[in-house]
Amino acid sequence: MFTIEQLLNNALQISCLLCRGTTPFKQPLCQLCLTACPDNQQACQRCGLPMAVSHLSICGQCLSQPPVFQHCYSAFQYLFPVNHIIHRIKYSRQLALIQPLTASLAEVLRERYHLLPWPEAIIPVPLHKKRLRQRGYNQALLLAKALTRLLKDKGMVLDRRLVKRIRATEAQQQLKAIQRRINIQGAFACNKAIAYQHVAIVDDVVTTGETVSELSRVLLKRGVKTVDVWCLARTPAG
């Protein structure tokens, strides 16, 4: 039996925000566009980078030089059309696109944490107040809020005030790897004492991992024992 809400959702059609084809009212992306998004199921469980070998869980780089965070989980690879969708979220205020991507990420997380303890808190990567004024919103915070709703049965809290960005940095996407590391150093600080042992940092995209690594170091120095990273998309190496 379908509920009235489900029947209305199927009956009312809107244009897909990506291809302009028809899609149910509560699905801003049509099923065809969602299917076209390259998933990141076959990835290193430590750094989150896509791997060509399916039977391995940790890549060679992480075995010899692991990142400061414990896990990095993402729903997609940062390739077309995912990169195009996230660009629209960040720079064109098409915030309805957050929901379908976040729903996919929530499914991945339920699978990954099936036999693992869930974090106690979700920490969105903060924007500097200057960048926040320019953009009008922090997409990482909106993503974290959506995840909190989707995973409300896991008892995690959303702590948006635990850390702040104390230095206005250049946009990371314009910089090379070594420049990203220098650019982000000293950018974050804690606002208060930390009561958590296990947290998840949330961001939209992880590329070189310098931003989430720097934030992880700040949290670990203040007493957190385990830091995981959750993102919509992970940029493939190279």
Distances (CA, A) of 192 to 6, 161, 195: 44, 8, 9
Q: Is there a domain that residue 112 lies in?
A: yes
CA distance 129 to 136: 10
**Res 7: pLDDT:** 52
Q: What is the pLDDT of residue 113?
A: 97
The four Cα atoms 155, 158, 161, 164 give a dihedral, to 10 degrees, of 120
CA distance 18 to 29: 7
Count of domains for the chain: 1
The answer, yes or no, to whether residue 70 has pLDDT greater than 60, is yes
pLDDT band at 174 (very low <50, low <70, confident <90, very high): low
Residue 149 sits in a domain whose CATH number is: 3.40.50
Q: What is the pLDDT of residue 9?
A: 53
Query: Which single residue is written with the structure tokens 């039977």?
Result: 55
- pTM for the complete prediction? 0.91
Q: Which two tokens stand for residue 101?
A: 């991507």
pLDDT at 1 over 70: no
* Domain annotation covers residue 191: yes
Quote the pLDDT of residue 215.
97
What pLDDT score was predicted for residue 199?
98
pLDDT confidence tier of residue 143, bands split at 50, 70 and 90: very high
Beta strands in the chain (DSSP E): 13-15, 22-24, 71-77, 121-124, 157-158, 163-165, 188-190, 198-206, 226-234
- Is 6 within a domain? no
pLDDT digits (tens, 9 = 90+) for 46-65: 999 999 876 778 999 999 99
Q: Are residues 50 and 40 in contact, defined by beta-carbon separation less than 8 angstroms? A: yes
pLDDT at 11: 61
Domain-embedded: residue 114: yes
Residue range 117-132: average pLDDT? Answer: 95
Rounded to an integer, the average pLDDT of 221-228 is 97
Look at residue 139 and tell me if it is in a domain.
yes
Q: What is the pLDDT of residue 4?
A: 55
Report the Cα 226 to chain-centroid distance in Å: 17
The pLDDT-based confidence of 168 (bands split at 50, 70, 90) is confident
Residue 50 falls inside a structural domain: no
What residue numbers bound the domain in which 116 lies? 69-234
Buried b or exposed e, range 46-60, using 16+ CB within 10 angstroms: bbbbbbeeeeeeebe
Look at residue 10 and tell me whether its pLDDT is greater than 90: no
> Is residue 98 assigned to a domain?
yes
Is pLDDT of 6 > 70?
Answer: no
pLDDT in the model for residue 169: 76
Dihedrals phi, psi of 16, to nearest 5 degrees:
-60, 135
Q: What proportion of the chain, given as a percentage, has pLDDT over 90?
A: 74
How far is CA 93 from each of CA 17, 138, 150, rounded to the nearest angstrom? 12, 11, 22
